Chain A
Amino acid sequence: MTQANSVLPPLAERSGILRWLRKNLFGSWLDAALTIIGAIIIYWAIKGFLTWAFTVAEWEVISANMRLIMIGQYPLEQVGQLWIALGFLMFLTGNSLAIWARKSYFTTILLLASPALLALLPFGDDPRKWLIILSVTGVIGWGMGWSKPEALGRIVILGWVLSLPVFILLTRGFTPEDGIMPIVGTNLWGGLLLTFLLTVVGILFSFPLGVLLALGRRSELPVIRLASITYIELVRGVPLITILFMAQLMLPLFLPPNVTIDRVLRAMVGITLFSAAYLAENVRGGLQAIPKGQFEAAQALGLNGAQTMVFIILPQALRLIIPILVGQFIAVFKDTALVAIVGLFDLVGIAKTVLAQPDFLGLQREVYVFISLIYWVLSYGMSYLSQRLEEKLGVGKR
């Protein structure tokens, strides 16, 4: 790319927009006609949407219900715990950016400033204060990482390992009613908070499970191989929604009557088991792409099967499939919306609650547009960050 750019085309080729337009959009009569029709359609669509968004739409439904959309029925007195949990994540993010992405200034500024930017939206005074604290925490974390990158590396990794348990502990609380952090039942978890937790748990647990299934599928032991294949093919053969229904409705049939498993936990298990089967197939694809010579070199050096996998094959296979993995993680994020059908109050589930209020009847468009926007921003964010990561790791090169 850089080479191609360093030699400029002759002057005549460089005469700018008009030439580009003529070449790309009005090259022939057909092109010109298509361009004009396309422009008209785009114009009507955008104009219609903007007119609706600025004159018809009643966005009060969003601002009035922002808290529901973000956290569901989570008790107001305990929201502080969630902010602390988020603060922990921001702090680690700041650390990590300073340690491992020193030169990615744009990504760094974007990530650290995003809470403060959100504070510009009508969230109310208390959240605004917290959002600004989040940004500040991130910047402090970044500063610490910047000053002591070597010393902090391991601690930050440990921090990330602990981040999910910490987040869940803070969300759930751990003391009785009168303690400092009373337990909040999962039936009160909702909105983006629930979507986020379902996604993160689904991704984090399905990943190792998927890798194990992929390895199991290649095992020399017929029992393990057969079990892996059966599992993968069974799960891939049914829609996620049926697995969620089974987890909610059928699981209790197999358990002793006095044992109940939390509904959110059941959904997490369902999503994890489902995602693992797809991951296993993707990982298998990555494993197959590793040349036989890599296995042979490892064997010849005396590495055993497990060492060969851990040090030689998996790192290469996983790096190869990062784009596919990210695609699948985004799919998990969006698929969590199905839990609304089995009665959980994730982003989509909470939308129904919002719309059931007499004050906001008939405002489906506003609510679903807003929720779609949240999904899109976060999906695109994941995709964008993963592209930066791929560039850094040189995926597809070498």
Chain B
Amino acid sequence: MLQDRDTIITAREVHKWYGNFHALKGIDMDVKRREVIVIFGPSGSGKSTFIRTINRLEEHQRGQIIVDGIELSHDVRNIEQIRMDTGMVFQQFNLFPHLTVMQNITLSPIQVRKWTKEKAEEIALQLLGRVGIPEQAHKYPGQLSGGQQQRVAIARALAMQPKIMLFDEPTSALDPEMIKEVLDVMVELAKSGMTMLVVTHEMGFARAVADRMFFFDQGQIVESGTPEEIFKEPKEERTKLFLSQILSH
């Protein structure tokens, strides 16, 4: 199957089982370059599993996933290439606690992209400026607040100059007063034209920058559409119910 030039992610009939448990039941999704996608749905519906199949943190067992013209298969070189082209931000930040902020950011550009240390550090400083914490480069992650840590994690992912950014509930582990500082960075990133897949329940963010939204339930896409369509006139009962639950507080 070929991908047209505007499409950067194609998922066709993607299935995933954990043992006997059917976690993804035929997911279809096409993502265009520069698109911002928001994925939402109840806990356990397969949102994390799905975005983790895109950079092969989870292996799918049936169907097809193509990222920027490269099909995810057992070929290790394909996986390496796709991981270079996708950045990921996790709910729990997953910074490397034994490395400074600077080392966290430059490790992979130096080791994988084979940049010089000088070049990597220069870009790291730019990125730290972009996420609003230029003065923290030589601290350790444990010395930063949650919001600062998550912004370092975003800078770390961006340092590889990825074509796609995956976010798995990036603000769910944060104290309320820190959510905004992270969302601001993500909004700026979205406006700069980055292709983004974001699992989140921050509907304000979705309304502001999402191009399309996907509602997941029980391993399937129940409904998709623009934020306009989803918020104004959701077609499915399940979507309505879920939205009313999360918007009520």
A interface residue numbers (CB < 8 A to B):
291, 293-294, 296-304, 307, 311-312, 315-316, 319, 398
Contacts and interface: CB of A to CB of B under 8 A. Distances in A.
Given A299-B56, A304-B80, 10 more contacts: A293-B90, A297-B94, A298-B96, A300-B88, A302-B80, A303-B108, A303-B111, A312-B96, A319-B98, A398-B97
Contacts of B95: 297
Given A311-B107, A311-B111, A398-B142, A300 B87 contact: yes
Contacts of A319: 98
Given A299-B83, A302-B83, A294 B57 contact: no
Nearest to B97: A398
Contacts of B205: none
B231 interface: no
Contacts of A298: 96
A194 to B, nearest CB: 38
Interface in B67-87: 80, 83-84, 86-87
Given A299-B57, A302-B83, A294 B112 contact: no
B160 interface: yes
A302 B85 CA distance: 9
Interface residues of B, number: 26
Contacts of A300: 55, 57, 83, 86-88, 157
Contacts of A316: 96-98
A298 B92 CA distance: 14
Nearest to B85: A302
Nearest to B57: A296
Interface in B12-55: 55
A312 B88 CA distance: 17
B80 A301 contact: no
Contacts of A303: 107-108, 111-112
A311 B94 CA distance: 14
B201 interface: no
A116 B94 CA distance: 50
B112 A296 contact: no
B140 interface: yes
Nearest to A293: B94
A297 B96 contact: yes
B98 A315 contact: yes
Residue of A294, A301, A312 ringed by the most chain B CB atoms within 10 A: A301
